[in-house]
Structure 1
Amino acid sequence: MTQITDLNDLRIFAEVVGHGSFTAAARALGTQTSKLSRRVRALEEELQVRLLNRTSRSLSLTETGRQFYQHCVAVVAESKAAKDIVEQTLTTPQGTVRVSCPLALLSAGVSAIIARYVEDNPQVQVLLDATNRRVDVVEEGLDFAIRVRLPPLENTDLAVRQLGLSIHILVASPELAARYPAPSSIDSLKEWPTLAMASSSGRFAWNLVDAKGEAMSWTHQPRLATDDLASLRIAAIQGVGVALLPRELVGEDLQAGRLRQLLPDLATTPGLVHAIFATRRGMVPAVRHLLDALVAGFGALNEKWYGGR
Structure 2
Amino acid sequence: MDRSMEMAVFAKVVEEGSFSSAARNLKLTPSAVSKQIARLEDRLGVRLLNRTTRRLSATEEGAAFYQRAARILSDIDEAEAAVTQLHAAPRGTLRINCGIAFGKHQITPLMPEFLARYPELRIELTLTDSVSDLVEEGQDVAVRFGPLQDSSMVARQLAVSRRAIVAAPSYFEAHGTPRHPSELTGHNCLTFSNMPHLNEWIFKIAEGEEYRVKAEGNFTASNGETIHEMVLAGLGVARLAEFLVEPEVQEGKLQRVLQPFYRDIEVPINAVYPTRRHLSPKVRAFVDFLIEKFQPVPPWARG
Q: Which bracket does the TM-score occupy, shorter chain normalised?
A: 0.5 to 0.7
Aligned counterpart, 1:148 = 145
Q: Does 1:193 align with 2:188?
A: yes
Cα deviation digits, residues 131-188 of structure 1 (max 9, x gap) = 1111110101111111112xx4435322222111111101101011112333222112
Shift, 1:201, TM fit? 6.1
Q: Does 1:283 align with 2:279?
A: yes
Shift, 1:111, TM fit? 1.2
| Local SS of the residue matching 2:184 | helix
Matched-pair contact (CA < 8 Å) for 1:173–1:259: yes
Alpha-carbon distance in structure 2 between the residues aligned to 1:147 and 1:279: 16
Q: Does 1:122 align with 2:119?
A: yes
Q: Tell me the percent identity.
A: 26
Cα deviation digits, residues 240-293 of structure 1 (max 9, x gap) = 110111112112211222111111231321111112211274111111010011
Alpha-carbon distance in structure 2 between the residues aligned to 1:145 and 1:231: 22
| Local SS of the residue matching 1:119 | helix
Shift, 1:226, TM fit? 1.1
C-alpha distance 285-207 of structure 1, shift in aligned 2 (>3 A): farther
- Deviates most, 271-280 or 243-252: 271-280
Cα deviation digits, residues 182-209 of structure 1 (max 9, x gap) = 3222112211111011246699322456
- Deviates most, 176-185 or 232-241: 176-185
Gaps of 5+ in 1: 1-86
Alpha-carbon distance in structure 1 between the residues aligned to 2:185 and 2:134: 41
Alpha-carbon distance in structure 1 between the residues aligned to 2:206 and 2:156: 29
- TM-score when scaled to structure 1? 0.63
Shift, 1:113, TM fit? 2.3
Matched-pair contact (CA < 8 Å) for 1:89–1:95: no
Alpha-carbon distance in structure 1 between the residues aligned to 2:110 and 2:188: 35
Matched-pair contact (CA < 8 Å) for 1:113–1:293: no
Superposed, which structure 2 residues align to 1:204-243 within 5 Å? 204-208=199-203, 216-243=211-238
For 1:113, the aligned partner's letter is L
For 2:92, the aligned partner's letter is G
Q: Does 1:259 align with 2:251?
A: no
Matched-pair contact (CA < 8 Å) for 1:101–1:132: yes
Gaps of 5+ in 2: 1-83
| Local SS of the residue matching 2:292 | helix
C-alpha distance 218-106 of structure 1, shift in aligned 2 (>3 A): same
Aligned counterpart, 1:163 = 158
- Deviates most, 280-289 or 185-194: 280-289
C-alpha distance 229-304 of structure 1, shift in aligned 2 (>3 A): closer
Cα deviation digits, residues 112-134 of structure 1 (max 9, x gap) = 22332112111111110111111
Instruction: Give the number of aligned pairs.
Output: 219
Alpha-carbon distance in structure 2 between the residues aligned to 1:202 and 1:288: 34
Aligned counterpart, 1:273 = 269
Alpha-carbon distance in structure 2 between the residues aligned to 1:228 and 1:139: 24
C-alpha distance 211-234 of structure 1, shift in aligned 2 (>3 A): farther
Aligned counterpart, 2:102 = 105
| Local SS of the residue matching 2:217 | coil
For 2:218, the aligned partner's letter is R
Alpha-carbon distance in structure 2 between the residues aligned to 1:107 and 1:203: 20
Q: Max radius of gyration: which structure? A: 1
C-alpha distance 139-210 of structure 1, shift in aligned 2 (>3 A): farther
Matched-pair contact (CA < 8 Å) for 1:209–1:269: no
CA-based RMSD: 2.8
| Local SS of the residue matching 1:139 | helix
Alpha-carbon distance in structure 2 between the residues aligned to 1:114 and 1:222: 36
